Structure 1
């Protein structure tokens, strides 16, 4: 296993692990990016029912995470406690992902469409739980040092957003090009049912490929642990572990911070799709630029979060990220709702495609929002790894998957709440399901909600970040005691 001279894992070792988050990104962000508009505009579900189908599945996913964490920590196999679940869960996620974008289109009854969409969402989320909880815990074990945790998590979320760019932002140009209908009218590609089939098959293959690379690249960590004793696999043992994590004050500060930050991401991510289509009226090329720009900003921030941590430590780095995000979101509100600029203003041609200064400004400000968010996600992940290490030293019990699972439980619970809120917001704004045109009032309302909801919630997340007490100095002293 290649090591750097400092004894830390090489960048290649880290990226072999990090590609596994690409598979998760394609699945999760594919659902996040397109599921709501697919269910409402392609399948014709009412926004409230569409958001319910997604939010119930996310909440189910959140509930199963702690259970999966306990199971993984107490698994004993020839291939260790993590890799069997990563491989099986990853491949199941790919197959079910393809099914979600194809099977409901074969149905005509709204009730059946809702039921099938809900069931497939539940199955996808279960497969992702089997995959992601052991995968996250594996990362805690690959890089156990304070700053190297931030480095690994930064690389992981860099891959996450790079894949989101390639298979999310580029999806607008690869799979959702505008087409001319029989009446000679240009139809947005996201409103054409057949486009989702090609996307589903392409992304399903990509998911399986990345899962395979991750499992093979980290095979040295798949150590036979069959001789290790199992401390307890009963329901009581699970509850003892779970409740002890929820009583950990250090963990609660991180959980609260990341839960609210995730809620802010969800509110922005879901409502922005409607803003792209109806308020800004972006072409496929403009959607790729704006959507992809946000993803690349997130990826760049994640890759460089370790530098920010080295200079300022983790808590100050988090406040820098919050400040960037709030500036980006509220600036969008000031520019486009405050009347400083109109959608499509000052048009010009870029690479032979229609473009505008308004699109450029929108993209740059949204990059500021998502760049700030890109600092927060790997920071929170590295913080909970620190907390898990402190707990292990204090109690003598390995609970990496337990802490990872409760961490993802909080994120997914926030995502479930956020998705349900988004459905209500879309309906409250006046967006009509299946309609290619919306009223001016509805279009303006959804834009306002997009620009203001995320910044408000992410500011509240800063309160929990403020309460997080662990610093670099404390962790270095702790690690020295651990080595001794």
Structure 2
């Protein structure tokens, strides 16, 4: 008791600890795996349509099904990891367990037996893309949920997520560079090496090994932090009680804003990701090495974007900086395509084409990466907002619900590239220079307004997000005070029990 007031001592919130460079780097290192695997998954439509020979509609259907299944799986993993009590904490058991199965699934996914007919190849694709996505989420959901705990500070959290994002983009760039500069080297039979069937298997093996190493290094590198992380209370919870907990956590205004924004953006992501290699190969007529250069430009852009994002966030707050960067990135991404369609852009083969595309990719990539870093940090900030209102930490569920919406809508929109290609009459096994340019222009004119309109609508939704630095600091103080009060009560409980026994 306080001698002056006879009131219990008020718990004081300790300042959140800052992470050193080593921890930030090793935590982010695990995102190399996600970047590599994302690159592989992004290429599946092109690989199974243009190399294996399945119809674009069939491939898109398989990808859509896998994304919807994976979307439902994410919140399950997030919620289970939030409540896991183990000697290795809540997140690390999942991270370690996923490493080898992920690598194996990628290898199988990119090796459909050549003797199979079209129906069998479709089933092979469907089974292994579902398995691969579920295993990737088994790692990615617990890993991403570590960020809010490792970095509770408003600005430090953005820095940590910058490491994670930049290293994830590095993984994507590494996989793209290995493909475009090494495995997709041109041959006499295949001047554009990305059309060579023999190149894809070795690339899958290399990607699998990189992902495996990345996951194990990151999990081991953050293992010593387990003792400092939140440990959920031991309790037996019924299914009905778990569902009520989930509903209470998800009933959050700011989460609703984030989910709505990502739901709309997911539709645009599906079209953009599915058709990117088509635009590179047929619209711009780029060689694999040139596509590889643009992938490396995106790596540089991720570093620039991370630097700009942290600076703008400190100056204007996360929300306004995020909105500005996303708006700029849409303009920068779409401008070259629109200018080409209007006839005021250098033609394919022009000496100016690659320099202009490099500058456009550097600008759009910097803004895109910065926007994603800030939006991820904004979603992470909902952790304490929800904890103040519910009394529970559920960062795994919150992060997974965000990806659930993105994957579910991207899963539905994964049908769109195949439908668009079918609508414009784009053939399988097409060869650059031998396809009607009218078909390619038609594809671009349909793609451009749809993706731009969806992107701008998604950006507008972020205006309704309400957590700024002042609100986040209040949430941190409330959470820390509640935690300290709980510890004081726990320490006092044995004394109270002993006193009751003596009194009895």
TM-score over 0.5 (shorter chain): yes
TM-score between the two structures when normalised by the length of structure 2: 0.87
User: 443-452 or 393-402: which moved more?
Assistant: 443-452
Asked if structure 1 preserves the Cα contact closer than 8 Å seen for 2:34 and 2:171, the reply is no
Q: What's the CA shift for 1:359?
A: 2.1
Q: What's the CA shift for 1:149?
A: 1.4
Query: Is 1:215 aligned to 2:219, yes or no?
Result: yes
Equivalent position to 2:32, from 17, 22, 26:
22
Query: Is 1:173 aligned to 2:168, yes or no?
Result: no
Asked if structure 1 preserves the Cα contact closer than 8 Å seen for 2:83 and 2:232, the reply is no
Structure 1: distance between partners of 2:324 and 2:244: 37
Asked if structure 2 preserves the Cα contact closer than 8 Å seen for 1:159 and 1:299, the reply is no
Query: Is 1:399 aligned to 2:421, yes or no?
Result: no
What's the C-alpha RMSD, in Å, of the aligned pairs? 2.2
Aligned residues, how many?
Answer: 465
Asked if structure 2 preserves the Cα contact closer than 8 Å seen for 1:151 and 1:303, the reply is no
- Corresponding residue of 2:311: 307
Structure 1: distance between partners of 2:247 and 2:230: 27
Q: What's the CA shift for 1:450?
A: 4.8
- Corresponding residue of 1:91: 100
- Corresponding residue of 2:80: 71
Query: Is 1:261 aligned to 2:265, yes or no?
Result: yes
Query: Is 1:51 aligned to 2:60, yes or no?
Result: yes
Q: What's the CA shift for 1:62?
A: 0.4
Query: Is 1:137 aligned to 2:132, yes or no?
Result: no
Cα–Cα, structure 1 residues 88 and 106, in superposed 2: closer, same or farther, change >3 Å? farther
Cα–Cα, structure 1 residues 226 and 378, in superposed 2: closer, same or farther, change >3 Å? closer
Structure 1: distance between partners of 2:364 and 2:304: 13
Cα–Cα, structure 1 residues 54 and 145, in superposed 2: closer, same or farther, change >3 Å? same
Asked if structure 2 preserves the Cα contact closer than 8 Å seen for 1:259 and 1:414, the reply is yes
Structure 2: distance between partners of 1:227 and 1:74: 8
- Corresponding residue of 1:473: 470
Structure 2: distance between partners of 1:321 and 1:259: 19
Asked if structure 2 preserves the Cα contact closer than 8 Å seen for 1:328 and 1:369, the reply is yes
Equivalent position to 2:239, from 235, 240, 249:
235
- Corresponding residue of 2:380: 385
Q: What's the CA shift for 1:180?
A: 0.6
Asked if structure 2 preserves the Cα contact closer than 8 Å seen for 1:189 and 1:195, the reply is yes
Larger Rg: 2
Within 5 A, what are the aligned runs for 1:415-454?
Answer: 415-436=410-431, 437-454=434-451
Cα–Cα, structure 1 residues 386 and 226, in superposed 2: closer, same or farther, change >3 Å? closer
Q: What's the CA shift for 1:72?
A: 0.8
Structure 2: distance between partners of 1:168 and 1:418: 23
Query: Is 1:31 aligned to 2:35, yes or no?
Result: no
Equivalent position to 1:282, from 274, 280, 286:
286
Asked if structure 2 preserves the Cα contact closer than 8 Å seen for 1:290 and 1:366, the reply is yes
Q: What's the CA shift for 1:272?
A: 1.9
- Corresponding residue of 1:352: none
Q: What's the CA shift for 1:224?
A: 9.8
Cα–Cα, structure 1 residues 374 and 140, in superposed 2: closer, same or farther, change >3 Å? same
Query: Is 1:324 aligned to 2:301, yes or no?
Result: no
- Corresponding residue of 1:350: none
Q: What's the CA shift for 1:335?
A: 2.0
Structure 2: distance between partners of 1:285 and 1:226: 47
- CA deviation map 1:247-297 (0-9, x unaligned): 211111111223333433332232121011112111122111223323432
Q: What's the CA shift for 1:391?
A: 1.3
Q: What's the CA shift for 1:44?
A: 0.8
Cα–Cα, structure 1 residues 47 and 109, in superposed 2: closer, same or farther, change >3 Å? same
Cα–Cα, structure 1 residues 215 and 43, in superposed 2: closer, same or farther, change >3 Å? same
Structure 1: distance between partners of 2:36 and 2:99: 11
Gap regions ≥5 residues in structure 1: 347-355
Cα–Cα, structure 1 residues 132 and 118, in superposed 2: closer, same or farther, change >3 Å? same
- CA deviation map 1:11-69 (0-9, x unaligned): 2211110011111111122211x111001011111111101111110111100111111
Structure 2: distance between partners of 1:175 and 1:38: 14
Q: What's the CA shift for 1:452?
A: 4.1
Structure 1: distance between partners of 2:224 and 2:152: 16
Gap regions ≥5 residues in structure 2: 1-14, 482-504
Query: What secondary structure does 1:187 align onto?
Result: coil
TM-score between the two structures when normalised by the length of structure 1: 0.90
